[in-house]
Amino acid sequence: MRKRLLQVLGVVGVILAVIVLVKVAPAGSATPGPGTRTAWGDPDLQGIWTDEYQTPLQRPAKYATKEAFTDEERAELDRQRAAILRRDQRVEVGSERDVAGAYNAVFQSIKHTGKRTSLVVDPPDGRIPALTPEAKQRADTDRQFRLALLQATQTCKDGDAACAGGKYGPPSPRRAEVAPFYNTGRLNRSDGPEDRSMTERCMAAVLPDFGGYRRIVQAPGTVSIFYDVGQGQGWQRVITLDQKEHLPSTVHQRFGDSRGHWEGNTLVVDVTNFSPKSDFMGARENLHLVERWTRVDAKTLEYAVTIEDPTTWTKSWTVKQEMNRQDEQANRIYYEPRCHEGNYGLPALLSGTRAEEAAFAAGKGPDPATKDSATDFGTEGGVDALTGGG
Amino acid sequence: MSRRSLIAAVLATAVVTAAVSVSVTRLTGQSARPTRTGDGKPNISGVWQVNNEANWDLQAHDARPGAVTQQGVYPYAYAQVPAAPVLALGAAAIVPGSIGVVQGDRQIPYTAAAAARKTENGAHWVDRDPELKCYLPGIPRATYMPYPFQIVQSSNKIQMIYTFSNAARTIHLDTVAGPPDDTWMGHSVGRWDGDTLVVDVTHFNDKTWFDRAGNFHSDALHVVERFTPISPDALRYEATIEDPKTFTRPWTIAMPIYRRLEPEVQLLDFPCIDFTEEFMYGHLRRQQLVKHWESDTMAVDIRRKVPPGEQLFDWYGK
C-alpha cells in the first residue's frame, strides 16, 4: 500500500511538474540564452541599463535616406563633437547669458556616436510624423504666449533665435495672463512655481524616456523599473503583468498606467491614463504607448516604443534603442532621486524675482520684465551635430 | 492511526488545501500566491500596508483633537483645542490614539540633549517634519506610512516601492558596496535568516524623522529590519534602531504588515512634490493664493464661506 501511495504521489508530482513547465515556458519562445531567464523561467530583464551611444531622436535632414553611419563616419563625428567647447566658453561674466550657462562642460558629458542616424525607426524617414492641425494650433498659441513674455528682453532686442517669430518692444500686457495651457517649460516669468519648468520643479521625468539609467527588478507577475533621468530626478514604475484592464478612465497618472504581458521573450507593455499635467513633446492625456522590451543577450536590452496620440500626431511613430548592461558598483549612487529635497533653486528664483520687483517699484532697479530667465543659451562653442546643442 | 486512515487524512488535507487556494483566488482575484518562491524562500511579493497609528507617534499616546492644537480654556495638555491650520477640517483632523509600537519598556532612550530636541520638534511639527514637504521618508518610516507599498522579490534583489513620494529602495541580497554619500532612504543589504528577511540599513543622513511626533535620529543611524511571514497575507515587521549620537541604547519597534487583498490593487500616483508646492513656496508668489508672510509670521487663510442650505449653520443663525 505504501509503495502504491508513493507511486501515486510520484505520478502526481510528475503531472504537476509538467503543468508547471508548460505554464512557465512562453509559447514560441526561442531557446533561452545563458543568464537571460529568471529563476522562475521568465525572460530576465534585470540589471542597470542605459543607452551608451548618442543617436539623434529624429534623423537630421542632411542624412536624408541614410539609416546608418559607417565606422569611419562615427569616428569623424566623435572627433568633431569632442572639439566643441560647449559651455566652458564664457561670455560677459555675470550676464544673463553667462548665468544661463551655469552648467559647464563638466555637466555636459557626451556619448560616442551611435550606429544609427535616428532613434525613430518608423516612419522609415526617421522623422516624427507631422502634427495634426489642432496640435499645430496648440503649439502656436503656446509659442505666441512665450514670445510675448520675452518681448521686452535683450534676447528679443538682439534678435536671438530664441525670439524668432517675436518682436522687441515694451513689456507685454500678456504678462498678466494665465498661460494658455498647463505650463511644463520655462516661461520668462516667475509669478509662481507653475511659471517654471518641470525640470526646475524637480518633476522633469516623462514616459517614454530615452536617456538616463534604469534599474529593473522582477518578480513573477511584476516588473519594476526605477528611472534615473538625471538632475537628481527619477521615478519608480511598476508594471503589472496579470491584469489586462486599465485603470478607470477617470484616473490619471503622470506616467500613465502600465499593463504588461510576455510575448515569447518580449515584455509588451500598454500604457494609457496619462495626466493632462504630463507632457511628452506636446502629447498629454491622450498619449498611448506600446512598449516592447527584449533581452537580446547578456549585455543588451532592446527597447522599442510605438507612440500614438491622434490629437497630436497625424500617425503613430516608433522609436527603437539598444541599452547596455551597466556595472552595479560604478552605478551604486544612481538610485535616490532627491532633487526636490535640495531644491533651493526654485524658491530662489521666486524670491529673487520678488526682490527685483520691489527694487523696480522703488526706482532702484530694472523692470524684471526686461530680464530673461527662460532662454537656454549655451551654444557659443558650436552646435553638436547629433544633439543640436553646445 | 492505520495506514488507510493516514492516506485518507493526507488526501482530505490535500482537498481542503486545494479548496482554500481556490477560494482565496476567487476572493482576491489575484493569481494563486505560493507561500514559497521557486528557491524555497517565503514569497513576500505583493502590495502591503500597515494598519496602525505609528506614523502619528511610535509611542503610546492619547487621541487629540487635531494634528495641530493650541491651548483651550484650561491650561492642560489634555484640554487643548484644534489650531488654525486644521480647524476647518473638524473631525477629519483628529489624531487617533494608539498603544504604540515601541517594544520592551515602551520608551525611546534619548540622550538628554536629544530628548529636548524631540520635544521641540513636536512643538514645531508643521515647520520641521520632512513628510509635510514630501521629502523621502527614510527607513523605517516608509514602511509604516499610511499608504500601500509594494515588494518585488527577485533572487538577488528585492525592490520596495512606496506610495509616498514615489520613494523606493533596492535591497541587495548580493554584495554591493554602499554609495559614496549619505542618503535619505539608506543603503539596504539583505539576507534570509530561515524564513526571516533581515535587512541591514546604513548610509543615512540626519534629515528624516520616525513619525509626526518629532522622533528623530542623526547620521549615525543604523537600522536592522526583520520581515517574518506569519501567514501568506501578513508579515511581522521589526526594526531595531541604533544611533549612539541620539540614543543611549538600541531600541526596537514591531508591528504587523498586511497584504492588500483587493483583486485589482496597485500603487497609484501620489504626486506630492507637485501637491506641496503651495505649502512650500506659496508665500513666494507674486499674487498670494492661500498663504503669505505678515512680517516674520506665516499666515494661512482658512476663511470659508458656508454654502446656503447647510442646516446646522442655518439653525443657529451662523
Neighbours of B129 (CB within 10 A): 19
Model confidence at A36, in pLDDT bands (50, 70, 90)? confident
pLDDT digits (tens, 9 = 90+) for B150-198: 999 999 999 999 999 999 999 999 988 888 889 999 999 999 999 999 9
The distance between the two most distant Cα atoms of chain A, rounded to a whole number of Å, is 104
Angle value at C-alpha A223, between B274 and B163, nearest 5 degrees:
30
Decide if A76 touches B, using CB distance below 8 A. Answer: no
Residue B300 has pLDDT above 90, yes or no: no
Residue A357 has pLDDT above 60, yes or no: yes
pLDDT digits (tens, 9 = 90+) for A144-164: 999 999 999 999 999 999 999
Shortest alpha-carbon distance between residue A99 and chain B (Å): 22
Q: What pLDDT is recorded for position A105?
A: 64
Give every CB contact of residue A371 below 8 A, 6+ residues apart in sequence: A96, A153, A356
Give every CB contact of residue A338 below 8 A, 6+ residues apart in sequence: A232, B136, B183, B184
Decide if A40 touches B, using CB distance below 8 A. Answer: yes
Q: What pLDDT is recorded for position A5?
A: 44
Q: What pLDDT is recorded for position B224?
A: 98
Give every CB contact of residue B259 below 8 A, 6+ residues apart in sequence: B46, B47, B48, B232, B233, B234
Q: Measured between beta carbons, which residues in chain A are less than 8 angstroms from residue B178?
A: 332
> Is the four-CA dihedral A379, A370, B279, B294 of positive or negative sign?
positive
pLDDT digits (tens, 9 = 90+) for B31-63: 456 689 988 999 999 999 999 999 999 999 999
Omega of the bond prior to A123 within 30 degrees of 0, cis?
A: yes
Query: Could you give the CA distance from residue B229 to residue B248 in angstroms, rounded to a whole number?
Result: 31
Phi-psi region of A363 (alpha: psi -120 to 50; beta: other; left: phi over 0): left
Decide if A242 touches B, using CB distance below 8 A. Answer: yes
Ranges A321-330, B20-29, B219-228, most confident: B219-228
With H, G, I as helix, E, B as strand and everything else as coil, classify residue A16.
Answer: helix
Decide if B261 touches A, using CB distance below 8 A. Answer: no
% of chain B at pLDDT higher than 90: 75
Find residues 171-230 of chain B whose CB sits inside 8 Å of chain A.
176-181, 183-185, 207
The DSSP call for residue B209 is: B
Shortest alpha-carbon distance between residue A123 and chain B (Å): 33
**Taking CB atoms and an 8 Å limit, are A350 and B281 in contact across chains?**
yes
State mean pLDDT over B128-138: 98
Closest to A259 measured CA to CA, from A243, A275, A278, A236: A243
Residue B212 has pLDDT above 80, yes or no: yes
Cell numbers placing A66: 541614410
State mean pLDDT over B283-300: 89
Closest to A255 measured CA to CA, from B270, B49, B150: B270
Q: Measured between beta carbons, which residues in chain A are less than 8 angstroms from residue B167?
A: 236
Residue A116 has pLDDT above 50, yes or no: yes
Q: Which of B135, B153, B267 sits opposite A219 (nearest CB)?
A: B153
Model confidence at B308, in pLDDT bands (50, 70, 90)? confident
C-alpha B46 chain-centroid distance: 17
State mean pLDDT over A249-254: 97
Q: Which of A222, A328, A354 sits opposite B284 (nearest CB)?
A: A354
What single letter denotes the amino acid at residue A78?
D
For B37, the closest chain A residue by CA position comes to A40
For B130, the closest chain A residue by CA position comes to A341
